[in-house]
Amino acid sequence: MSRALVNPFYAARIRHGGARLPISGPFARYALLYRRHGYAPVPVRPGCKAPHVTDWSRWCHELPPEELLHDWTQRYPDAGLAIALGPACCVTALDLDHDIDGLHDRIQELSGPSPIAKRGQKGATFFYRHTGERSRSFRRQGQTVAEILAGGRLVILPPTLHPATCQPYVWLTPATLLDIAAAELPPLNTAAIAALFAPPPQPMHRRRLFRPQREPARLETLTAALAHIPADCDYHSWVQIGMALKATLGDAGFELWDRWSSHSPKYDAWQMAAKWRSFSRQGITAGTLFHFARQHGWRRSSR
């Protein structure tokens, strides 16, 4: 390890304390270097993937000052290294997990090549330029096949130890994030990946059954009603609105619910997809959403 890459504080500790003191972890050694390359380093707890700091998602939208990194280095000398993804560092990641039916090869064809990739326990993580993507996961047969990691997500970097294998994450490519600027990374073709996991067309008799609910007029009415409901409503109301959209629009309603929810200070991109999958399409209809909207002044257009 180059002496220039080691945090000066820990170089001094090792120099004065001798071999009896613990050697600094990946965050202490590399955080300042990644920050100076335009990334948002976050310390993670040894032996797991959880961050040491509770307000880490703030650094998805702004870069932490170097003084704060020095403070974290002193508080968490053995911390692993992660970076917060999103608009601040202009990086989005594509994480491939369980390879069901050979989908990983197909996903890589659709996503386009990336010059930077790393691996932990299985699969691989590829890095792309952030162009406004939202974090989302893609599942098949009950397993997560791939995830788009963007705003509100962390990605752990080498040489942090993987909590399951106790072996370090490794770079799979000659280049790392310290070799290529985020602006020079290629964009990720998220639309093509989403299309790969889109449900097959329904039989004609079922398509007729749900067609009236998916007409543009119905979507326009739901959007107008939803705009009257405060996004920071209580949890029970938030869930019922999501269920009403799924019952009326199917999975096409997720983007509308997610976009509306993002206006709340309680918005957490991590839980959106999982919560949506838990919703049933029975028991709640669009009438529930209209009821909430009328309570906040919405009136259905006579048209």
pLDDT interval class at 275 (50, 70, 90): confident
Q: What is the pLDDT of residues 95-144, one digit of tens each?
A: 999 898 889 999 999 988 999 999 988 889 999 999 999 999 998 888 89
pLDDT in tens, 78-97: 999 999 999 999 999 999 99
Q: Check: CB of residue 151 under 8 Å from CB of residue 75.
A: no
pLDDT reported for residue 14: 36
pLDDT of residue 7: 42
Same domain, 157 and 27: yes
Q: Using the 8-state DSSP alphabet, how is residue 86 labeled?
A: B
Token pair, residue 130, equals 């952030």
pLDDT in tens, 237-253: 898 898 888 888 888 88
Same domain, 146 and 209: no
Mean pLDDT of 53-66: 93
Mean pLDDT over 276-283 rounds to: 76
Residues 183 and 147 in one domain: yes
Tokens, residue 74: 């002193």
pLDDT band at 10 (very low <50, low <70, confident <90, very high): very low
pLDDT > 90 in the chain, percent: 46
Looking at the structure, tell me whether residues 59 and 130 fall in a common domain.
Answer: yes
Evaluate whether residue 300 is within a structural domain.
no
This prediction's pTM: 0.61
In one-letter notation, the amino acid at residue 157 is L
Any idea which of 57-66, 167-176, 287-296 has the lowest mean pLDDT?
A: 287-296
In whole angstroms, give the CA distance from residue 160 to residue 166: 9
Give the closest residue to 151 by CA, choosing from 129, 127, 134, 131.
134
Domain boundary among 177, 195, 213: 195
**Do 54 and 146 belong together in one domain?**
yes
Comparing 186-190, 258-262, 282-286, the range with the smallest average pLDDT is 282-286
Would you say 296 and 229 are in contact if contact means Cβ atoms under 8 Å apart? yes
Evaluate whether residue 303 is within a structural domain. no
> Based on the domain organization, do 36 and 145 belong to the same domain?
yes
What is the overall mean pLDDT for the chain?
A: 84
DSSP 190: H
Residue 63 pLDDT exceeds 60: yes
pLDDT at 232: 87
Q: Name the DSSP class of 176.
A: -
Same domain, 122 and 146: yes
**Omega prior to 159 cis, within 30 of 0:** yes
Asked if residue 6 has pLDDT above 80, the reply is no
Q: Could you tell me which residue, 21 or 245, shows the higher pLDDT? A: 245
User: For 23-46, what is each residue's pLDDT tens digit?
Assistant: 589 999 999 999 999 999 999 999
Residue 270 CA to residue 151 CA, distance in Å, equals 10
Q: What is the span of the domain harbouring residue 132?
A: 3-195
Residue type present at position 90: C
Specify the 3-state DSSP secondary structure of 155: strand
pLDDT of 87 reads: 93
Angstrom CA distances, 28 to 78, 84, 259, 269, stand at 7, 16, 37, 28
Q: Is 242 within a domain?
A: yes
Number of domains in the chain: 2
Q: Taking 60 as the threshold, does the pLDDT of residue 300 lie above it?
A: yes
In a domain, 301, yes or no: no
Tokens of 268: 């957490």
Indicate whether 218 and 69 sit together in one domain. no
12 and 132 share one domain: yes
Q: Are residues 64 and 124 in the same domain?
A: yes
